[in-house]
Amino acid sequence: MSLSVADRAVGAIIGAAVADAAAQPMHWIYNQERLKEVLSDLEPCPEFRPQSANPFYRRTTGEQTCYGDQAYVLLESLSQHGDVNVEDLTRRFYKFFGPGTVYDLPLNDPYRKKGSGPKVVLPIDGPWSNESLKAFFRNVDAGKEETGCDVDCQMDGVTKLAPVVALYAGKPEMLEKVEEAMRVTQNNDMCVAVTLAAARFLEHFILNGFDPNALDAVLTQLNDPKRQNPQDLDRAVIG
C-alpha cells in the first residue's frame, strides 16, 4: 500500500508514542546480565512487558516514560496553536510535570538535594522526572528567560521531536522549529546538534518513505555549507 506524506507524518507521531510505551517496562536497565535475564523470558517479543523490570521507577504497562510524556505535551501545544509557541509550551510542561500531578513525588522534587531526606527505595511507584525537567522547573521558578537545562545531555530532544518534524517536514523552518521547541527544557548545544541530526533523518523518511541510503542523505545535508540551521557541533555529529 502506498502511503502519502501525511500518512507517514501521522505514523511518525503514533509510532514514537507506541515505541515509548512498548519500551517503558524495560527502561533504564543498565546491568547487562539483568537485561539478558529479562530478555530471555520475553523472546521473541520484548515489547510491552506485562510487569515492569525497570530498576528505577514503575508505571503501568502502556503508560509513557517521561520522554514520551514530553512528546505528548508538545503535540498538544502544537495542535492548539499550529506552531511552536514557547510560552504555551513552557506553561504546559510546568503544569503536566509539576505540583499535584503523578510526577509530584519526593524523588522528583527539583529542589531535593542528593542524599537529603529519607532514603529512597528503588524502584519508586510512579513516573520519574529526569534532570533536564528538574532544571527546567528551577529555571522557570527563578524567572529565567532561558528555561532549558544547559548541562544535562539526555535523549529528550530526540525522543519528543516527532510532532514538530511531522508538522514542518519539507518546510525550510523545520530545524529552526525543532531547536526552538527543545531548548525550552534542554538548552545544551550537543543535545541540539544531535536532535537536529535526528530530525533530518525523520524528515527524510516522512518525505521519501523507506530509504536504505538515508544516512548518506543526512551526511550530505550536514556537510553542506549552505545547510539550514547550522550548528557548531555538526562536524562532531558527522564524525
| CA angle centred on 59, ends 57 and 64, rounded to 5° | 105
Q: Which of 126, 180, 162 is nearest to 20 (CA)?
A: 162
Q: Where are the domains of the chain?
A: 5-238
Stretches in the chain below the pLDDT threshold 50? none
Q: State which H helix or E strand residue 124 sits in.
A: strand 124-125
* 19, amino acid identity: A
User: pTM for the whole thing?
Assistant: 0.94
* pLDDT in the model for residue 160: 96
Q: Is 41 exposed, middle or buried (0-12, 13-18, 19+ CB in 10 A)?
A: exposed
The class (CATH top level) of 5-238 is mainly alpha
Q: What is the dihedral of CA 228, 233, 234, 235, to 10 degrees?
A: 140
CB 132 within 8 A of CB 152: yes
* pLDDT in the model for residue 1: 52
Q: Which cell is 45 given?
A: 517479543
Q: Kindly report, residue by residue over 116-161, the tens digit of the pLDDT.
A: 777 889 999 999 999 999 999 999 999 999 999 999 999 999 999 9
